[in-house]
Homo-oligomer: A and B are copies of this chain.
């Protein structure tokens, strides 16, 4: 038996200059994430959340620093290492879906399938996202929420060690959100996946994650359990504001 809590999955110590809405942002992170953790990145629009995921995935190059995942060096400026995205074993849901327009729904999922995986995995996922009947349609014909579900399913096909979710449920109705949140949590626990999610939905963040990083202007302002670090006062006035009108 190993001490699960002490094993570190990701070590992230990077900087990157970004064009922010309030002038240049210096994205500057120094975080460790344990194996099997579910961590949410929360913060205002334009804070740099997507950029963090992109740098982890190898799609955006940090200006400096290093990224170590599962004891493998993914990026190290000083050693001039930059592992290509193909070799970073992870799954990612893009904020803007990035489905392949030339493939059907099923084709998009099958493309993600690895050689040793059974085809039944696809049917399972299609059933989960309730799109079995649209399996032969191209993405252009899908509704916004349907696309988002395909994007999520596609990232889940491979069952990678690291899951990066960029607002994976933002376009869905509450019932579907709850269903998929539960599913994500189930696979997360079942396979001991390390998961990094971006979400601006307080309810979702509270429900899903053990740890929240509050990112503002490129810097982690707070880091801790959701109920301690989230601005919960946003929740109440919001609902009552509506109800009491």
Contact = CB atoms under 8 A, between A and B. Distances in A.
B173 A170 contact: no
B207 A227 contact: no
A245 interface: yes
Contacts of A242: 203-207, 226
A1 interface: no
Interface stretch (A20-28, A74-82, A109-117): A20-28
Interface residues of A, number: 55
A206 B238 CA distance: 10
Given A141-B19, A170-B170, A206-B243, A44 B175 contact: yes
Contacts of A235: 239
A43 interface: yes
Contact of A21 (B43, B130, B206, B245): B130
Interface of A: 19-23, 43-46, 49-51, 95-96, 130-131, 133-134, 137, 141-146, 148-149, 166-167, 170-176, 178, 200, 202-207, 226-227, 231, 234-235, 238-239, 241-243, 245
